[in-house]
A and B are shown apart, each in its own frame.
Chain A
Amino acid sequence: MTRWVAAVGGAALVIAAWGVALVTPDDAAAEQPFVVPVEVGDAGEGRNLAVTITGVRAADAATIDGWVATGPWLIVDLEAAAVESESGALLSHATLSIDGRTFRASERPPDSLFRSALSVGVPRSGSIAFELPEAALGDDVAVLSLGLSEDPRLDSVIELHLEPRRLDRVEEAELVSSGWAR
């Protein structure tokens, strides 16, 4: 009787340990960013970043102030402001993840909100452009992630799920020049 109880007890503990090992999050989970999901047109506010994505466009060529470059491009129009402090408040993290690949916003446009300084409580408007391979624009799911620090861990990121395939592709799209939103 005692041996039987011990055997069952031991087996139960092994199964419990296995279960605990299964549900234990990995090391990276402890430093994941705090995700604020948004839809186009909605305002999303994180720790020190408030963003309203006003539009997403796809184009063969992007242009601003006489600068033209063929892509293809995915262009995100947005309004962004800091929330509590202007110290280090640059929109330094802007990535688009499609099918396991992560693309960073392009530094090529002479004027974009990528890596620009934000003001507390006074939003700035502009665009961020992603230069993508042709196949990526045909994909179903893409995740846009915006944050202040280039390393987004342990800070808020504003996240938008979008469908690149559903976007109306135009020949040429002009980026919104950066400026005060109002």
Chain B
Amino acid sequence: MTSDQDAVFQALADPTRRRLLRTLSMAGPSTLTELTAGVPMSRQAVSKHLALLQDAGLVVGRGEVRGRRYELSPAPLADAMGWIADVGADWDERLARLKLHVESR
């Protein structure tokens, strides 16, 4: 796992940020005002979460600061899922091997 992925997992560990990602995936590119609507949270708080998502490469902001639109950038998410799948394959294999070793004792 790279430290880029570390940033991705850290970003995903927070429910508010997961909700923001879900909103962006359903609504498409959105402004900060649109993302703050219907969320019991200040503009600043949402903005902070967006900054963290951008640092992790999960979200990209486009346009001038005023009216900037944020959109999902799914590649790092796919990489993170790939890591989980790789680790998963290792453990499935190890579990099968453990069963073999213990039962053949």
Q: Do A and B come from one complex?
A: no
Binding site for B on A (CB under 8 A): none
Binding site for A on B (CB under 8 A): none
